[in-house]
Amino acid sequence: MFIHFLLSRLLSALLVIFGVILIVFLLIHLVPGDPIEVMLGDSPTMADREQLRQSLGLDQPILTQFFQYFNRLLHFDLGESIHSGRKISEILFPRIWPTVYLTLASLFVAIVIAFPLGIMSALNKNTMIDKMAMGISLIGISIPNFLMGPLLILIFSILLGILPVNGNDSISSIVLPALTLGTALAAILSRMIRASLLETMTMDYVRTAKAKGLSKYQIIYKHTLRNALLPVVTIIGLQFGALLGGAVITEMIFSWPGLGQLTIESIQKRDYPVVQACMLLITTTYVLVNTLTDLAYAALDPRIRLDAKS
């Protein structure tokens, strides 16, 4: 039964990845703009344009280009950059670690903020503390990254002058980008922690612990929190991919040399193969994390497998 569930999830993941490859390929080839114009400048001759277009294979029909690209992917060949002529793997891999570093730092920030807020809110349900904690989380959800980033730069870099604006030259450079990405996730996690704790606190074993005279803090930390973590861990796994997507905007704001910045730069240059490789890597990571989360959840709770089969 678990094998059937595993195969169904892997098949779904492959279909999603193929769909993303197709959609991204078509969109970047159909949007206005010509990489030939970007590469040759303002006054190229018609002969130069056609020669370069033929050498890059851009004169062929879109479907032909797609099947050639997909065939290369099946052989694990990402191709070469139109703009620089370098292998995409050489361009891509140095940018992976900065994005992973930023994503993990953002996840750490989210956990550090969310757990105290969620627990404090659950312990003080329907009080002013609860309303303030949930109000803070609502603000975190409401402010998008492209607004949160400049606000943090204005406060901590320009007004206070204690943190750098951009780059990744020092450890302090990660603080503002991680806060920008982590606050939105912290808002979601804190609400999930609160809801999960409140649901768990209605269980029979919690009432038994109360009858034994345990304080609410002992009940939370020794009995309730561990059992309430399963849906929270699931949300963390699912949101990991969302952090990768949000990193595109955040990396541009803070000039962070990761996949997000490379994607935007490649779009501006109409460097089709590099854009496709970046989106393929981000999508594959997102789908892989979600699939692993589904499998872990199914391994822990067999009811998930039964629901999927039915």
Sequence-ordered list of residues with C-beta below 8 angstroms from that of 270, at least 6 positions apart, any chain? 28, 33, 34, 35, 38, 82
Residues 6+ apart with CB under 8 A from 298: 2, 5, 304, 305, 308
- What percent of the chain shows pLDDT beyond 70? 84
Q: Which long-range contacts (CB under 8 A, 24 or more apart) does 215-222 make?
A: 216/123, 217/123, 220/119, 220/122, 220/123
pLDDT at 57 over 80: no
pLDDT for 300 beyond 80? no
Q: Any idea which of 48-57, 174-183, 289-298 has the lowest mean pLDDT?
A: 48-57
Residue 72: CA count within 13 A, CB half-sphere: 15
Instruction: Note the pLDDT of residue 302.
Output: 58
Residue 219: what are its φ and ψ, rounded to 5°? -65, -45
Tell how many helices (H) and how many strands (E) occur in the chain.
14, 0
306: pLDDT strictly greater than 80: no
The tally of CA atoms less than 13 A away on the side-chain side of residue 194 is 24
CATH classification of 96-257, choosing from 1.10.240.10, 3.30.2010.10, 1.10.3720.10, 3.30.300.170?
Answer: 1.10.3720.10
Indicate the SS3 state at residue 137.
helix
* pTM tops 0.85, yes or no: no
More confident residue, 54 or 131: 131
DSSP annotation of 6 reads: H
Average pLDDT over residues 25-41: 69
HEC-encoded secondary structure of 192-210: HHHHHHHHHCCCHHHHHHH
pLDDT category, 44, cuts 50, 70, 90?
Answer: low
Mean pLDDT value of segment 53-82 = 79
**pLDDT level of residue 27 (50, 70, 90 thresholds):** confident
What pLDDT score was predicted for residue 90?
87
Selected residue with higher pLDDT from 110 and 44: 110
Which of the pair, 79 or 57, is modelled with greater confidence?
Answer: 79
Mean of the per-residue pLDDT values for the chain? 79
The set of residues, in sequence order, having a beta carbon less than 8 Å from that of 169 and lying 6+ positions away, is none
pLDDT interval class at 40 (50, 70, 90): low
pLDDT digits (tens, 9 = 90+) for 130-147: 888 888 888 877 888 888
Q: What are the structural domain ranges in the chain?
A: 96-257
Q: How many Å apart are CA 245 and CA 257, to the nearest integer?
A: 15
